[in-house]
Amino acid sequence: MKTTALIKDIRTQVTQWKREGKRVAFVPTMGNLHQGHITLVEQAKQYADHIVVSIFVNPMQFGQNEDFDGYPRTYERDSQKLIAAGADLLFMPTPDIIYPKGLAQQTYVEVPEFGDELCGASRPGHFKGVATIVNKLFNIVQPDVALFGRKDFQQLLVIKTMVEDLSLPIEIIGVETIREASGLAMSSRNGYLTEGEKHRAASLKQAMDQIASDIQQGIPIEQAISAASQYITQVGFRVDYIEVRSAKTLAKAQPSDSELVIVAAAYLGKARLIDNQCFNR
The torsion of the CA quartet 113, 209, 271, 248, rounded to 10 degrees, works out to -10
Give the distance, in angstroms, between the CA of residue 112 and the centroid of all CA atoms in the same chain.
18
Yes or no: say if 180 and 202 are a contact pair by the CB < 8 Å rule.
Answer: yes
List beta partners, residue 263: 243, 276
Active site (annotated) includes residue 37: yes
Using CA atoms, how far residue 120 sits from 59, 79, 262, 269, in Å, is 16, 31, 16, 21
Angle at 89 between CA 84 and CA 95, to 5 degrees: 115
Strands (E) in 35-189, as ranges, are 50-55, 89-91, 145-149, 171-175
Catalytic residue among 37, 50, 126, 199: 37
Closest by alpha carbon to 79, among 18, 23, 2?
2
List beta partners, residue 42: none
Helix (H, G, I), strand (E, B) or coil at 73: coil
List beta partners, residue 274: 265
Helix (H, G, I), strand (E, B) or coil at 30: coil
Sign of CA dihedral 62, 124, 159, 267: positive
Closest by alpha carbon to 242, among 271, 198, 208?
208
Question: Could you tell me which residues come within 8 angstroms of residue 129 by beta carbon, excluding any fewer than 6 positions away?
Answer: 58, 59, 60, 61, 62, 108
List the catalytic residues: 37
